[in-house]
Copies of this chain bind each other. A is one copy, B any other.
Amino acid sequence: MASVSNKRTTLKKILPKTPSGIAGLDEITEGGLPKGRPTLICGAAGSGKTLFAIEFIVRGALNYKEPGVFMAFEEKSDELAINVASLGFDLEKLQKQNLIKLDHVHIDRSEIEETGEYDLDGLFIRLGHAIDSIGAKRVVLDTIENLFSGLGNETILRAELRRLFGWLKEKGVTAIITGEKGDGILTRQGLEEYVSDCVILLEHRVCNQISTRLLRIIKYRGSIHGTNEYPFLIDEDGISVLPITSLT
């Protein structure tokens, strides 16, 4: 068994991880998100996807000196800034310090009617500029649903997604893409299977009128990780995941 080595500590270095900076998550993932690869954050409306993604960018900029680009297809930059202000995140200041870059992409009706679909190449150019302008190491696309909802043909959809994920990998950035779970067009197609190395599901479950927020790692290629459902909180300190069950 020449090429089988069992020394786990050695091998762990091979799949590099980036600490998310989100309390509790890096513990469950044994080090954070896959470095230089895209992660898919799924969940229904209000489950916390945008907060998760923005905290990933802010913590990266502040705690790990990794500048980050946040590309929003829904919320405008100033709205976003207001929305997370109560969490103690001062997006404007971070922007001025070139630690983060917020970009709101508006997808117009006329644009869709003409071409039938959004131009991915244009997105690459724009995102590339944003990354280069601050030397970004982290990228967020919030949400992928908006980008692709007009694409009817499933095979082309998958090919385009693969192109997007491939482009992000080539850029070497650690990326978060958010998407709707279950009801959305893309995830209904099972896109997480084909295009993502790491898939995390956020849920907001109401049971007997009491609500709980839960996080679960659906898939993490190349990594051992906690596989249970972990409760998490959203409060004035952002997101805190409680790693209250032991690792598998």
A-to-B contact residues, CB < 8 Å: 1-6, 8, 11-12, 14-15, 37, 44-46, 50, 58, 62-63, 74-75, 79, 82-90, 93-94, 97, 106-109, 112-113, 143, 145-146, 149-150, 153-156, 158-160, 162-163, 180, 183-185, 188, 190, 192-197, 199, 204, 206, 209-211, 213-214, 216-224, 227-231, 233-237, 245, 248
Contact: A14 with B236, CB < 8 Å? no
In the complex, how many angstroms separate the beta carbon of A63 from the nearest chain B beta carbon? 8
Of chain B, the residue at the smallest CB distance from A158 is B149
In the complex, how many angstroms separate the beta carbon of A163 from the nearest chain B beta carbon? 7
Q: What's the Cα separation between A188 and B190 when bound, in Å?
A: 12
Q: Which B residues touch A4, using CB under 8 A?
A: 58, 62, 88-90
Q: Which B residues touch A90, using CB under 8 A?
A: 3-5
Of chain B, the residue at the smallest CB distance from A160 is B109
Q: Which B residues touch A194, using CB under 8 A?
A: 74, 143, 145-146
Contact: B156 with A109, CB < 8 Å? yes
Of chain B, the residue at the smallest CB distance from A217 is B46
Q: Which B residues touch A188, using CB under 8 A?
A: 183
Contact: A86 with B222, CB < 8 Å? yes
Q: Which B residues touch A192, using CB under 8 A?
A: 45-46
Q: What's the Cα separation between A237 and B6 when bound, in Å?
A: 7
Which of B8, B44, B219 meets A45, CB within 8 Å?
B219
Contact: B221 with A83, CB < 8 Å? yes
- Beyond A6-B88, A150-B154, whether A222 also contacts B11 by CB under 8 A is no
Of chain B, the residue at the smallest CB distance from A91 is B3
Q: What's the Cα separation between A66 and B47 when bound, in Å?
A: 32
Q: Which B residues touch A8, using CB under 8 A?
A: 86, 236
The 10 A-B residue pairs with the shortest CB-CB distance in the complex, in nearest-first order: A46-B219, A83-B222, A150-B155, A3-B90, A14-B85, A109-B159, A209-B229, A211-B227, A45-B193, A11-B86
